[in-house]
Structure 1
């Protein structure tokens, strides 16, 4: 494949990541301190992609305003999926932007260049599609693939049986016949699935190949998974063990414990301890003698003096008051109508949540956007958007 075109699917919201996705789509959530989709772009370009088409929908202005018309001198062609009617529908929305063979990747999952390169190298004119696969013991929440002698004989969403599945990493090399298959499948609850299109190809006895790769693949399904995403980037060396922006201001008496990443214009005050496994976004301030450990702190957040954050995920513009404590997980987390037990989350504080200081967060607490927690409160469970909690 030369002059490689890639379609990046980035139109979805990420419902299970609410309240973090109340104001932006899942692809724009931070992987360490950089949007997930930016990591995807980097890996595509390093693998040799020369043209980018991005399918946007929910929160599309966040994607388009962040990247503009180009990324690293590669033009970006934006296609709008007006209604989020599935990955197959998103693929068809971008059909006119490509001709011949193209790559398709998910813009909301971390996938590294090795998987992309393996797919490019494996695909040839004899195949209608080639999928990037990884070995993973549990594929029950994703797409499972049965691979025999390099060809995929079955693809199953959320498999529950004990067969020897490989995980579908969401990296596809597709011929035009795949677009025809996407058109041919019957919508399920009004949505067209790209996986169903691949199954249609298999059923029609088209050649669908798979290549098992050792590359990094990580998905953030729930808010606490952003901690795991950052850990994976550190472990893989994708993010260096110590990355401190030149414009960051670190007081001489502060302590930085690796691995750590600190973005532009962040400020770390006297006596503060940041790390290990801490990610501070742009313009974050960590007050004097505060502690921030194993946390992903998004842009414009303020952490007050003597505050403690462990196993914490924040949105943008959060205010943590003086002496407030996020003591760390594990905790039971309520997401929708489910309770997830013993998850590694101290607390999630969504965009512009504010506490007035001296607040204690029970493990697994979720605080919605623009909520305000008054001084001295102890909070647990789920606090809704725009809620005010008295001490």
Structure 2
């Protein structure tokens, strides 16, 4: 069996984190999301894998070339939609095949449920169905797909994972796969709805925290680098090579820390935290329920809770993220979600900065003692 992974899109609702990298390459528990999809396929014995790339394709291709998996890459020249991306892979398809988004988590059991089916889709229950294609099902057969409705008729959504026969390409008349499915249904073709075992998508930046928490459950314990004898670690903790953990630091897993980091002394890292490569946590800093990407520096006496920090942020001492809930307009829609902060790449913050339920764009600069709330555009100076 073959599989086509669609990894050409940007993930615009995840900005600012996707300004410089595609959504499929965002690190969750210190691994790009697309790796979890590939792993699930390999666990099912599916090794004939085609990946469709487009937006910032060079980064995806470089990463795929480092993996120990036989992956064929094709390019979607313009990001016009999922069906257009699938058409880019048509010349590589010779058998029944799966289609999967490269930017969602899916487990191997879910793929096992659908891989033997012909013309089927994986579905899941979701508390916010209006962010997805909502599926109306009768007796296990898909009757209708309603894309991102304001008033969803059910809580059942499409995961974007399908099992097709090659003749599906004759139904790709628009640029979106759900339109092809609607055409197939109208012509009398039966599309089976298969419930997923475990599936998660990150629609908005703060959703990465839930996905990070989920994936940290899968990490393997490993203590490498130089860990001081006074360090206390409990639960599942993974520490990369070249990392130093200073005296009197406490780490409560699940936590993963990358390579060549400098942690502590006297820091506390609480559960559901992932820390990328080359990160510096200065003394007396507390981090919990956060995703910190590579090459970030967090100054001393900081308190970081429910935060996503993009690569290369430099935050001075006494930085605080304050989780709260407020209304944010993202992608033209009003959203309300409780989290501390989402910072794009290269954010600079002076001492005593507080980020409160905010999204700060790439290369934002914040002056000393400021409280930052709401959405701050790329390159803004908060003085």
TM-score (normalised: structure 1): 0.89
Q: CA deviation at 1:119?
A: 0.3
Aligned residues: 368
Cα separation, 1, equivalents of 2:139 and 2:322? 50
Task: Give 1:349's match in structure 2, choosing from 343, 346, 349.
Answer: 343
Q: How does 1:116-155 map to 2 (within 5 A)?
A: 116-121=111-116, 123=117, 127=118, 129-136=119-126, 138-155=128-145
1:224 aligns with 2:206: yes
Task: Give 2:218's match in structure 1, choosing from 238, 249, 252.
Answer: 238
1:16-65 deviations in Å (ceiling 9; x for gaps): 11111111111111222211111111111112211211111111112112
Cα separation, 2, equivalents of 1:29 and 1:324? 24
Q: Secondary structure at the match of 2:34?
A: helix
1:93 corresponding residue in structure 2:
88
- Gaps of at least 5 residues in structure 2 are 221-234
Cα separation, 1, equivalents of 2:152 and 2:381? 48
Task: Give 1:258's match in structure 2, choosing from 253, 257, 279.
Answer: 253
- Gaps of at least 5 residues in structure 1 are none
Q: Secondary structure at the match of 1:313?
A: strand
Task: Give 2:361's match in structure 1, choosing from 368, 377, 380.
Answer: 368
Distance 1:161 1:386, change over 3 A: closer
Q: Secondary structure at the match of 2:130?
A: coil
Cα separation, 2, equivalents of 1:337 and 1:205? 36
TM-score (normalised: structure 2): 0.90
The answer as to whether partners of 2:219 and 2:238 remain within 8 angstroms in 1 is: no
2:176 corresponding residue in structure 1:
193
2:188 corresponding residue in structure 1:
205
Cα separation, 1, equivalents of 2:63 and 2:324? 33
Q: Secondary structure at the match of 1:289?
A: coil
The answer as to whether partners of 2:4 and 2:97 remain within 8 angstroms in 1 is: yes
The answer as to whether partners of 1:146 and 1:165 remain within 8 angstroms in 2 is: no
Cα separation, 1, equivalents of 2:246 and 2:205? 31
Q: CA deviation at 1:165?
A: 5.7
1:159-213 deviations in Å (ceiling 9; x for gaps): 456755632122111111211111xx3x3xxxx1111111111111123222223
1:60 aligns with 2:57: yes
1:170 aligns with 2:165: no
Q: Secondary structure at the match of 1:140?
A: helix
Distance 1:377 1:166, change over 3 A: closer
Cα separation, 1, equivalents of 2:150 and 2:12? 23
Cα RMSD of the aligned pairs, angstroms, is 1.9
